[in-house]
A and B are shown apart, each in its own frame.
Chain A
Amino acid sequence: MNSLAPVNSLEVSRLAYAYPDGTQALFGVDLSIARGERVALLGPNGAGKTTLVMHLNGILTAGHGTVTVAGTPVRKDTLKEVRQRVGLVFQDPDDQLFMPTVRDDVAFGPANAGLRGAELDRVVTAALERVGMLDAIDRPPHHLSFGQRRRVAVATVLAMEPEILVLDEPSSNLDPAARRELAEILRSLDVTVLMVTHDLPYALELCERSLILSGGVIAADGPTRKLLSDAELLAEHRLELPYGFTIPAV
């Protein structure tokens, strides 16, 4: 899709991983995402989606295989660089918003990168503006609504100016209006996006391409519209379109 980009934003090859208790979650994952693409990663519960996401910025270390972000392999010595390039938005905004105020939270990442004073303020303000949450800058995160918290969570990541934005179930627990607002925000951003979800209509709305992760491996990779019209493929991987939802004709 984007032939101008010399390197892919994300490259994963033969990735396998088991948790310390012995449960193996990934059994050799291969995928690549070009710069500027918006890709959905679909899969049933327990397919290993969250485990895969944890590898993308080195939170979990590959048991086997490699992860490369914009040409930089994820290793112990590259962690700092990789973490600035991969912006992870967690499923539960409460996990992500751990500071006492929205301002402190959005500033946390840039401050760790060494920004201080006026420059830090500018970055924080800009990030909150992009998600329409500047008014809440001095409020404690736990006083915000769920949808507002998720938008602030996106801002905390945007403030680090990432190469790729990785969202874990971005539409979960959102009411329809908040869901639409978030979609508008995501569409307005000019970054590579990997969206992990089982909200198939949301994937169709926002992403041209989709991957299906099932049983710890990539089971399908193609245009979202094509994958979602393949009823057999969806059924095989415990994916279902909502009742009454049909893929609109091209």
Chain B
Amino acid sequence: MSAGHHHRLHLPGDSVVHRLPPQCKLLAVLAFAIVVVATPRERFWAFAAYAVLLGAVAAAARVPAGHIARRMVIEVPFVLFAVLIPVIGLGERVSVLGLSLSVEGLWAAWNILAKATLGVVASILLAATTEPRVILLGAQRLRLPDLLVQIAMFMLRYMDVILDEMRRMRVARESRGFEARNARHIPVIARSAGALFIRSYERGERVHLAMLSRGYTGRMPIMADMTASTAQWATALALPAGAFAVLGLSLAGLG
């Protein structure tokens, strides 16, 4: 069980970035990621400029570099993959430190690493400056289907409850001397998973009953509605707009 996987990204604060309405931030990050992905990989300085833009956002939001760095661990599997590409890649080869590497593979590795890293950092900044439930309200404003928003809301509310139950079951297993070491232990883990499913499902039923008991008829009452001013939109979209300008310049200058 990777304990670090679900650690909280949100950093409470009161910066300009924290105060922006969630729908603006969501759209800004998405637009930024699209611009990054669309940038030709040969435009090195454009990627450097994107990184500077993200650095500026992090500074404005007062998110410490360490917080971002810790979370970037999520990238590791793909970093490993990217390192492999030049070795197994096709095409013309160059010799680097005695290793025969594919030129095209090196380009591809750079491309994936640069874009994935910029995307991850942008997402971390979003999650760090916005409370999870507020992000969901923003997604709702952006016309994500209500039902998906509600499912995500219930998932977020009960994630910790269920992870706790799972942890208790593991403690119960281990306190009786069980530790999963090889494939023969899979059935034991799977039976715990079955028990966990029953608990989750039954809790879902009880939550539904609790909702019914308080007059739920299939629609969540809308209790918080947030609107964004033009100024707030302008502030949030400064990030992707900056990135887009960089992209335009790089294409015009070098293309």
Contact = CB atoms under 8 A, between A and B. Distances in A.
Interface in A82-137: 83-84, 86-88, 90, 92, 94-96, 98-101, 104, 107-109, 111-113, 120
A230 B209 CA distance: 36
Contacts, number: 71
A108 B221 contact: yes
The interface residues of chain A, by DSSP majority, are classed as helix
B157 A111 contact: no
A95 B201 CA distance: 12
A208 to B, nearest CB: 26
B167 to A, nearest CB: 15
Interface stretch (B56-64, B183-191, B211-219, B238-246): B211-219
A233 to B, nearest CB: 32
Nearest to A80: B215
Nearest to A98: B207
B179 interface: no
A100 B209 CA distance: 18
A113 B206 contact: no
Contacts of A231: none
Nearest to B214: A109
Instruction: Tell me what chain B mostly uses at the interface: helix, strand, loop, or mixed.
Output: helix
Nearest to A108: B214
Contact of B206 (A95, A120, A142, A156): A95
A113 B216 CA distance: 9
A183 to B, nearest CB: 23
Nearest to A59: B209
A84 B215 contact: yes
Interface string A57-87: 1010000000000000000000010011011
A160 interface: yes
B43 interface: no
11 contacts: A59-B212, A83-B215, A86-B213, A88-B213, A90-B210, A92-B206, A94-B158, A95-B203, A100-B133, A101-B133, A107-B223
Which 9 interchain pairs have the tightest Cβ spacing?
A: A109-B214, A112-B215, A111-B221, A100-B133, A95-B206, A88-B213, A96-B210, A59-B209, A98-B207
Interface of A: 54, 57, 59, 80, 83-84, 86-88, 90, 92, 94-96, 98-101, 104, 107-109, 111-113, 120, 142, 156-157, 160
